[in-house]
Chains A and B, each alone.
Chain A
C-alpha cells in the first residue's frame, strides 16, 4: 500500500502542476474549454485518490473546489478576476493539504476554513442541483424515460419485519426490455445472484416468443416469474439490490406473500430452477467456487500485461550509478585513444575509423544518460507563481508571473537546489523591485507589475533570468548603504554595474528595516553562494525606471565540469574555468616584490596577490622563477582575485567529477578529482579555498571593486 500511497502523491504533484498551469492560462485570458476541463479532472482525480486513502480533509476541500470548477466549466460562473484569484488561493491550499497528507498530518481546520467557505459560497449561490451529478451539465437529458417500478406488495407485514428469522416468500415478475441486453446484462446472471439469496423456482413466460422467422431479435421481450424463499436475514431490500443495475431496463414486480403456504409444501428447490430456452446458457457454477479452486497467481510469477505508459520510475541511485559508469566509459575511451596515438603508426585506417565511431557513440551515450536526470523547469517555475502571489499580497503590491521556456530541461538536482535562491530572488524583486500600485500608476505603468522567469539553453549551459518591470536599482541609495557599511570608500570610482553587484556582497541589505518578506535576515550574497555551489554564475542588470534582471547561468549537470588542465611540480591539476578570469604570462614589469618577499601582480590599477600553487598545496618547497611560470587569474565568490602560478597550462576540457569525500577526508584546496585520458588521476582545485590558503606569493589589500570592469574575461 505504501507504493500506492507514494504513487498517489506523485500523481498529485503532477496534477497540481497541471492545475497551476491551467490557472495561469486562465488568468492570461485564455478561454479554451479544455483548460477548465483538465483543471476539473485534476481536482477530481485528487478527490478520487483521496477517497481511496480516506483523506477526509482533502476530499472535502477538493469536492468544494471541484464544484466551483464545474460551474466555470459549464459557464454557470464566469472566470472573472475574483474567481481566478479564489481558484489560485484554493489551488495553493489544495497543495498544502496534499503536503500535509503526505506527511500523514492534517492542517488545522481553521487554516482553510475561509477558502472552503468562499468556495462553497461561490458554488452555493448557484442552483444546488447542478452539482448532484458527475456529468457535463444539464444539457444532456437522459436518453430514455426511467420505467416506473411497480411494487404491489409494498413492505412486508410488520410482524415479518419484526421477526426476520421467518423469511417471507416473494414472487418476482421480471420482463427484460431490449436495452437490458444491449447494456451488457444477462438475465441468467441475475437469477444466479438471486440463487445465492434463497431458494428459487423460475418460470419463463414463453407466450411472447414468436416464430423464429418473425422474431424481432433486436427487441427480445422474454419475461420470467420467479418464486423465491429468501434465506434467513435476506429481506426484500436485499433482493431489490440484485436488480439495482437493471432498474429502468426492465419491468419488475416484487410481490410478498405474507399469507404464503407453509414452507414444507414448497417443492425441493434447486431441481426446479428452470431455464427458459434450451439455447439459453444454464446457470454456471458459483463463481466463488471457481475462485477458490483456481490457483491464485503467485505474485511476480506471472507477468501481467504491462500497462503502456510513457514513463517509468527508476531509483535515482541507479541513474547516478549509470552516469558514473558512463563517465568511466568516456575516460576509458580517451585512454585507449591516447595509447593508440602513442603506438607507432601502422596506417591502419579501420582501427582509426572504429575509434572515432566509438568516440561518437560514447559521447552520445553520455548525453542520453545525462538527459535521464534532466527535468523541465516547469514544476520549479510553477512553484514560484505561488511565491509571487503570496509575496505581492503581503507587500501590498500587485504582481503577476510570466514564465518563458518552462520546457527547458535541467538536471533534477539543480532544479531542486534552485528553489531556495529563486524564492529569495522573487521575494526581492517584488519587495524591493516593484513599486506600489500608486507609484506605478504615477509612472505611467500598468498598475500590476510583471515578474518574468525565463529559462533557455545557451552554449551548453542553462540560463535562467528573473526580471521585473519595477523601478530598477536605486544606485545612490545602494552606494550610500555600501559606504555606511564600509564595503566601499566614498572616493571609489564605481561603474553602475559595480554598484548593482554590491547587492551580492555579504551583509548587504537595502531594506531600511530587515523586511521579513524578502530579507529573512539574508541578502543576495546567500543566493550567490548557493548558485556558485551549483557551479553557476549570477549577475544583475538594472535600468532606472525600467526594472531589474538577475541572470543565473548554470551547468547542465553537476557530474561534469569544465576545467583547465595545468601542471605543477609534476602533478596534473584541474582549475575550474568557472572561477577563471584570465591567463597571462607575467612580464617582469608587472610583478612587484613586496618587502617580505611576497609578490604581487600589477594588473591595470590593481595589485593581485600571486599564489604559488605548488607551495600552497605542499608539492614543492623551493622557490620558483616566476618568469617560467604561467599565471591564472581567478576570482572567488566575493570578487577577491588572485593569480595562480603554475608550471604549464595544458588544455581546456570537460572532466567527470569524482568525489573524494567517500574515500578521503576533505582536503583544503581540493574540491574533487577526475581521471584523465591517460588513466592518471588529477585533482580539481577549489579556488576559493586556495585563495584563503597560506603559501601565497604575496599579500595585498583586498582589491578595490573599481577594477571590476577593466578585466577581459578569460
Chain B
C-alpha cells in the first residue's frame, strides 16, 4: 500500500457512499414498493460479510475457532442476549478454542 494507492482506494469508497446516498436513495424514494429493499439489503449483504469473515480464508472455506465463536454468538443472538454479552462471548469462545 503506497500513498497513491491509499488515495485511489479512498476515492472509490467515498464515491460509492455518496452515490448510494444521493442517487440510490432518490430512486428508492420514487419507488415506494422498493422501500422494503432498504431493509432487506442490509440483512443480505451483512450476512454475506459475516459468512466471509467467519468461514472465508482467502479463496477457501475453513471451519476453525472463529466458526465456534460465531456458533456461540448465533445462539446468544437467538436467545436475545444483550449486545455486549454476544460480542464478549464470541471472542472468549474463539480464544478458548485456540488455547486448547
A, B co-complexed:
no
Interface residues of A, Cβ cutoff 8 Å to B = none
